[in-house]
Amino acid sequence: MFSTTHNKSGYPTSNVIFIITTALFIIGLFALFALHAQLLIRKLRENIEIQVFLHKNTDASTQRSIRQALESYPFILKENQIPKIRFISKEEAATELRHLTGEDFMNFLGDNPLRDAFVINISEEYYTKAQMENIKKQIEELPGVFEVTYPENHIQEINANVHKVGAVLLSFVLMLLGIVVILINNSVKLAMYSQRFLIRSMQLVGATPWFIKKPFLQRAIYQGIVGACIAIVLLSLVLWFFYTFLEELRVLNVKWGIFVIYISLLFLGGLICGASAYFSVSRYLKMKLDQLYQN
C-alpha cells in the first residue's frame, strides 16, 4: 500500500507516513536517551553509601534499636521491600582496612580504633543538600550513634550536573516537539491540498461538514499510528543494538519506561495527524472556489 507515492486519489500516503515516522523516530530516540540518562543517575545516587558510626562499646540491644529506627525511616532505599542496611563490625572493618593498606595497624596501635557502623542507602528523591543534612541530623540524634558521614562533594557534583542536563534535555524535548508538530502538520496540510477539489465536490452534493471531515480524520489518525508503529520498530532495533554491545545497560530497569514512551508515540502520532487533518479540512471547507484555484 505504501509502495506508490501517489495513489489514484492523489493523496501522498507514503510521503506523509515517511515524515511522521521520521519525526516520531527522532523524538522517540530522544525520549529513550532521556529515560536512560535518568535511570543511570538514579542508579548512581542509590549506590552512594551513608555510614552511620556507632559509639564504642555499644551493646547489642542498642545496636538492635538503632537498626529498627533506621528501618522505620521512609528515606531508606528498599530493594524488594527489604531496607538496604548493612552492619559492619569494627573487626570486619579492620580486616578490610588491613587488606586495603597491607599493613597490620593494630600491631602498632595495640587496639582497634575503628567503630561498628551501619551502612545505608538512601532513596533517590532525598538527594538534595537540605534533605541530606536533615537525614544526617536525624540519625545523629539516635542514642548510640557517634557520627554520620556521606560523600558530600560527590552528591553536590551529581546534583549540579543533573540540573544542567535536565534543563538541556527539557529544552531539547520542547524544541523537538515543536518541530515535529510543524513537520507533521505541514505534510498533512500538503496532503489535504491535493484533496481540495474532492472536498469541494463533497460540499456541492450537500454533504455535511462532519461527513466530509470524518474519513480524512480517520485516515490521518490511522497514518499517524502506522507511522508511530514503524518508528517503534526502528527504535526497538536501535535499543537491541545498544543492549547487545553495551551489556552494562542491562542493570537498568527500563521496561516500564520504554512501554510508556512507545504508547506516547502512538498517541502523539494519532493526535498530531488527526488534529492537523481536522484543521486543514476545516480550512478548505470554508474556502470559495476561486480561493481553491489561487492556492
Partner 1 sequence: MSFVVSVRNLYVEHRQKQVLKDVSFDVADGEFLYLIGKTGSGKSSLLKVLYADLPIHSGWVEVADYDLTLIKHHQIPFLRRKLGIIFQDFELLYDRNVFENLAFVLRATDWKDSRQIRQRIEEVLESVGLSDKIKNMPHQLSGGEQQRVVIARALLNRPRLLLADEPTGNLDPVVSAEILELFKKIHRQGAAVIIATHYHNFLKQFPSRVLYCEEGIVRDIEKEFVVKRMEESFKKL
Binding site for partner 1 (CB under 8 A): 7-9, 197-198, 200-209, 211-212, 288-289
For partner 1, the closer CB: 110 or 206: 206
Closer Cβ to partner 1, 131 or 218, answer by number: 218
Nearest approach in angstroms of CB 288 to partner 1 is: 6
Residue that is written with C-alpha cell 515516522 in the block = 21
User: Residue 166 or 209: which CB sits closer to partner 1?
Assistant: 209
Least distance from partner 1 to the Cβ atom of residue 230, Å:
25
In whole angstroms, how close is the CB of 184 to partner 1 at the nearest point?
A: 25
- CB closer to partner 1, 130 vs 205: 205
Minimum gap (Å) between residue 221 Cβ and partner 1: 20
Question: Closest separation between CB of residue 187 and partner 1, Å?
Answer: 21
CB proximity list for 115: less than 8 A, separation 6 or greater: 53, 54, 55, 56, 90, 93, 146
DSSP letters, 188-249, are HHHHHHTTHHHHHHHHHTT--HHHHHHHHHHHHHHHHHHHHHHHHHHHHHHHHHHHHH-GGG
Among residues 190, 194, 187, 178, which one has the least CA distance to residue 268? 178
Bridge partner residues of 52 (DSSP): 118, 148
Between residues 143 and 215, which has the closer beta carbon with respect to partner 1?
A: 215
Q: In the complex, what is the shortest distance from the CB of residue 198 to partner 1, in angstroms, rounded to a whole number?
A: 7
Q: Which position has the grid cell 529498627?
A: 68
210/256 with CB nearer partner 1 = 210
In whole angstroms, the minimum distance from the beta carbon of 205 to partner 1 comes to: 5
Beta strands 49-54; 145-149: pairing state: antiparallel
Stated length of the chain? 295
How many C-beta neighbours within 10 Å does residue 144 have? 17
CA nearest 133: which of 145, 144, 149, 120? 149
Please state, in angstroms and as integers, the Cα–Cα distance from residue 189 to each residue in 65, 105, 121, 186, 279, following that order: 69, 78, 54, 5, 9
Please state the closest distance from residue 8 (CB atom) to partner 1, in A: 4
Q: Decide whether 47 or 294 has the Cβ nearer to partner 1.
A: 294
Read off φ and ψ for residue 88, nearest 5 degrees: -120, 115
Dist. CA 193–CA 276, nearest whole Å: 12
C-alpha span between 139 and 133 (Å, rounded)? 10
Q: Which C-beta is closer to partner 1: that of 8 or that of 99?
A: 8
